[in-house]
Chain A
Amino acid sequence: MADHVNLEHATGMAHQFENLDQQQDADMLGIWLFLVTEIMFFGGVFASYAIYRWFYLPAFEGGSHILDIRLGATNTIVLLGSSLTMALSVRSAQTGNRRATVMFLILTMILGGAFLGIKGVEYHQKFVEHIVPSLDWAPEGKVLAELAPGGLQHAELYFIFYFAMTGLHALHMIIGMGLLLWLVLRARKGAFTPHYFAPVEVVGLYWHFVDIVWIFLFPLLYLIGGRY
C-alpha cells in the first residue's frame, strides 16, 4: 500500500484518476473552461468599450493619439517574446530538460517584468500629463488641444477604459508572474517529468491567454483613428 502511494506521488498523478492520460485530459478541459470564463470576463469590458467608442469616436481618437505608440508596440513584442519562451519552457518540460525548463520560465518572468516596467513608465506619463481619470484629471497644453475636440468628459471616459483594461490585464500578468515563480521553484526540485508536467502546461495556457488579451488591447487602445 505504501509503495502504491509513493508511486502516485512520484508520477504526480492524483488518486481520483485512472491513469495519467485521463488526468491530462481533465487538466486541459479544466484550464480551458477557466479561460472561457476569462473570455466572458474580458468580453464584458470589450463590449462596453465597443459601445462607447461607437458613441464618442472623436474623443476616443483624441485619447488614443496621446498614447505612445512606440511603447505600445514594444510592449507587444516583449509580451509575444514571453509567450515564445513560455511555449519553449513547456516544450523543455515535455522533453525532460529540467535546466532548460527553469531557464525559459525565468526568461518568461524577466520579459513579463519588462512588460510591467514599460507599462509603469506609461502610467507615470499619464500622471505627468494629468490625464488620470478622477485622481488627476486636468489636461493642459498640447494634450488638452488633442482631447478638447472630442469633448473632455468623453476623453476622460476613454482613459477610464484605458486604465481599466490595461489594469485588469496587468493584474493578470502579476498573478501569472506569481504562478511562474511557483513553477520555477517546483521545476528546480525536479517535480516535472516528460510524463507529468501539467502545471507548466496549464500556467502556459493562462500566460498565452493574457498575451491574446494584449494582442487585442494594443490596436483597440493605441491605434484608434490612425496616426496619419
Chain B
Amino acid sequence: MSQQIDSIKSYVLVFLSLIGLTLLTTGVAFVDLGAFNTVVALAIAASKMLLVILFFMQVRHSGGLVRVVILAGFFWFALLVAFTMSDYGTRSWTPTPVPWSSMAPPTHP
C-alpha cells in the first residue's frame, strides 16, 4: 500500500490557513479595490481550493494518472468558460443579419 500518513499537525495547519484565507476574503470585501475585488476573491478561493486538493484530498501523494484526470477536468471547464465567453462577448461586434423571413420576396424581371 503506497499510502502516506500525514501528521495531525499538518492537517490542523492547513485548516488554520483556510480559516485565515476565509477571514481575509471576507475582510477584503469591505475594502474598495474596484474591479480587483473580484480578482482577489477568486484568487483567494483558488488558493483555498489548492490547499484542500493537495492536502485534504492528498493529491500531493497521488500518482500521475490521477493528476492528469484532475487537470483534464479543469482544462475542460476552462474550455467551457472560454468559448462561452468568447461567444457572448463578441456577439455585438458584427451586425445582426436580417432574417430571410422578414425580407421582401424576390422580384423577377
Contact = CB atoms under 8 A, between A and B. Distances in A.
A25 B52 CA distance: 20
Interface string A167-182: 0000000000000000
Interface string A70-97: 0001001100110110111001001100
A209 B73 CA distance: 13
B56 A91 contact: no
Q: Interface SS of chain A: helix, strand, loop or mixed?
A: helix
Contacts of A47: 80-81, 84
Contacts of B69: 29, 32-33, 36
Interface stretch (A121-129, A133-141, A147-155, A210-218): A210-218
B31 A86 contact: no
Prevailing SS type, chain B contact patch: helix
Interface of A: 20-21, 24-25, 28-29, 32-33, 35-36, 39-40, 43-44, 46-47, 50-51, 54, 69, 73, 76-77, 80-81, 83-84, 86-88, 91, 94-95, 194-195, 204-205, 208-209, 211-212, 215-216, 218-220, 222-228
Contacts of A29: 65-66, 69
B100 interface: no
A40 B70 CA distance: 12
A205 B66 CA distance: 13
Contacts of B56: 83-84, 86-87, 204, 208, 211
B41 A219 contact: yes
Using C-beta atoms within 8 Å of the partner chain, give the interface range for chain B: 35 or more
B77 A39 contact: yes
Interface in B61-109: 62-63, 65-66, 69-70, 72-74, 76-77, 80-81, 84-85, 88
B25 A43 contact: no
